[in-house]
Amino acid sequence: MASPKLTKKPARATAKTKSKKAPVKVATKVKTAKTSGSKSPAVALVPLTSPLARTAKGKRPQYFHDPATDRLQSMLVALMAELSVTRDRLDTLERLIEKSGGPGRKLMEAFNASPEVEAERAASRAAYIARVMRPISHELDAMKAGGKS
């Protein structure tokens, strides 16, 4: 339906993009645009003209006396994440080996974890996080004990 006649002023022209940066090629693995419904004709890809931003505008607070501690903390959590990713991937591989005896990239990417498997993974991740976060739970326990432990 066309826009309902609710407006005071006539509708203005649509979409025009203001791109301040020079176009940058963005690597993409996606080759084809899937369209919803088989009747719709395929539409040409609409690539980005600059990479997506990775740093938010606005000053990042400093949490520790030494800013290096801030960086180290973030790096530590990033490492946690990567190990978690690897564990998830390994888990997939192991399950596939059990299932078929011949794991390949295609099979791995296509692997769909069942709700039961996802629940197992979530429990495993929670335990893993708790292990790495142990220094904090120790600090909390000590505070609760009034500094006696």
Partner 1 sequence: MDAQTQHDVLIERSLDEQARQLFVKDFRSHLASQVVGGVPVAYYQVELPKFVAANGRPPKSKDEIRQFMLTNPYYQFWSGLQRTSQEMMWDSVIDSVERQAPALNARAKTLAAKAKKSTNLGSLRLNPDLEIPRYHTGVDIHIQPGGYHTEFGADDISAGAIYDRGVHIYLMGGMGSENDSLGRISSNWFRLEHPNLKPARILDMGCTTGNSTLPWGRMFPKAELHAIDVAAPVLRYAHARAVSLGIPVHFSQQNAEHTDFEDECFDVIVSHIMLHETSNKALPKVLAESRRLLKPGGIMIHLEIPRPDDVFEKFMFDWEAYNNNEPFSMGCRESDLIGLAREAGFDPEKVTFAQADAGLSSGQRNYSATGFLFPMLKAEKSAPVSQQRLRKAA
Q: How far is CA 76 from CA 80, 82, 87, 129, in A?
A: 6, 10, 16, 12
Cβ distance to partner 1 smaller for residue 34 or 101? 34
Q: How many CB atoms lie within 10 A of CB 40?
A: 9
Taking the C-alpha atoms of residue 136 and residue 139, their distance in angstroms, rounded to an integer, is 5
Compute the least distance from the CB of residue 22 to partner 1, in Å: 13
Compute the least distance from the CB of residue 101 to partner 1, in Å: 20
**Residues ≥6 apart with Cβ < 8 Å to 102:** none
Compute the least distance from the CB of residue 141 to partner 1, in Å: 9
For residue 62, the SS3 value is: coil
Cβ distance to partner 1 smaller for residue 9 or 102? 9
Compute the least distance from the CB of residue 54 to partner 1, in Å: 6
Cβ distance to partner 1 smaller for residue 3 or 101? 3
